[in-house]
Amino acid sequence: MTYGRSAHLLEANVEGGARYYVLLRSDGKSELTPLPMRTSEDAQISNRSAESGQWIVSSQMVEKTSAADMWFAAKSARVDAAQAAALSAWQGKTTQERAALTLQRDDAVLR
């Protein structure tokens, strides 16, 4: 789940020991929509595209800090409400819409 003004869900059907990528698409404000990166070159978001290599190289690993814990504690009720709303919206999606937002085992880059 990502959380900005609202929450967005992504489902994952993955295997341990494999590496997967998810693109967080920003709306330029405070929304980050998670999109699974596919291994297929013709996919809308492909981890084999020329620009995906640049995304991966320019990305930085993030470490959770105590400030994050404090932020979450202060916002937990809002996050819980957003998560419940996102889950309700997820359940209302069609099978095709949910499949587009599900990371699959075959999307693994490294095993």
Domain edges within the chain: 2-107
* Distance in angstroms (rounded) separating the CA atoms of residues 16 and 35: 20
Q: Read off the pLDDT of residues 68-83 as tens digits, 9 standing for 90 and up.
A: 999 999 999 999 999 9
Nearest-angstrom CA–CA distance, 75 and 92: 26
- pTM here is 0.79
pLDDT in tens, 23-69: 888 888 878 889 999 998 888 888 888 888 888 788 888 899 999 99
Statement: residue 111 has pLDDT above 80: no
